Amino acid sequence: MAVAIERYRFTVDQYHQMAEVGIFSPECRVELIDGEIFEMAPVGPWHSGVVNRLTHRFVTALGDRVVVHVQNPVGLDPRSEPQPDVMLLRARADFYGTAHPGPEHALLLVEVADTSLAHDRGRKLPLYARAGVAEVWIVNRDADAVEVYRSPSREGYREQDRRRRGEEIAPAAFPDIRFSVGDILG
């Protein structure tokens, strides 16, 4: 007789408890997606350069209008706490020091994909849409472009665009702040 093997899906609280008791070593880079714990890809020089450029551009252009949240968690639902590369969050006096932000705080979420494109598009993007994250950019190294996703729904993002070198891009929340795609890609 065949036995059905079920996956065990963790909650965010269980995930935090595992971290607190030392199940994950300090150098372990993991995130919780739909109740499953995934190891995050190592960060190479191109990836960190893109994150550094975006962080610098966002801080310089937007100053106190936002909190620039870099490689930190966002609580999406009781079973998901991914760590996007960069987020623009609604400005808040405590800088989210009392609780992780949720999707309602996110003005823009950015994933930098050099080796993680399938995971970012296949697992994380639908999760962001279901949670209602207003806008997501995927900086796609292979395509040498920035993918823009807007208008979230339970089925995915209704608006999708791809911006290439030579073009500009602006967060929907700040259409007056334009960035060169080539500058983002490096």
Q: What is the pLDDT of residues 82-128, one digit of tens each?
A: 999 999 999 999 999 999 999 999 999 999 999 999 999 999 999 99
Pairing assessment for the beta strands 36-39 and 30-33 based on DSSP bridges: antiparallel
- Residue 10 and residue 79 in contact, taking contact as beta carbons nearer than 8 Å: yes
Domains of the chain: 41-185 (3.90.1570.10)
pLDDT of 1 > 70? The answer is no
| Whether the model pTM is above 0.85 | yes
Asked whether residue 54 carries a pLDDT value surpassing 80, the answer given is yes
CB 60 within 8 A of CB 109: no
* pLDDT tier at 3, thresholds 50, 70, 90: confident
Mean pLDDT is lowest, of 22-31, 81-90, 177-186, for: 22-31
DSSP 9: -
Q: Please, are residues 86 and 47 in contact by the beta-carbon 8 Å criterion?
A: no
Q: Are β-strands 106-113 and 135-140 bridged in parallel, bridged antiparallel, or unpaired?
A: parallel
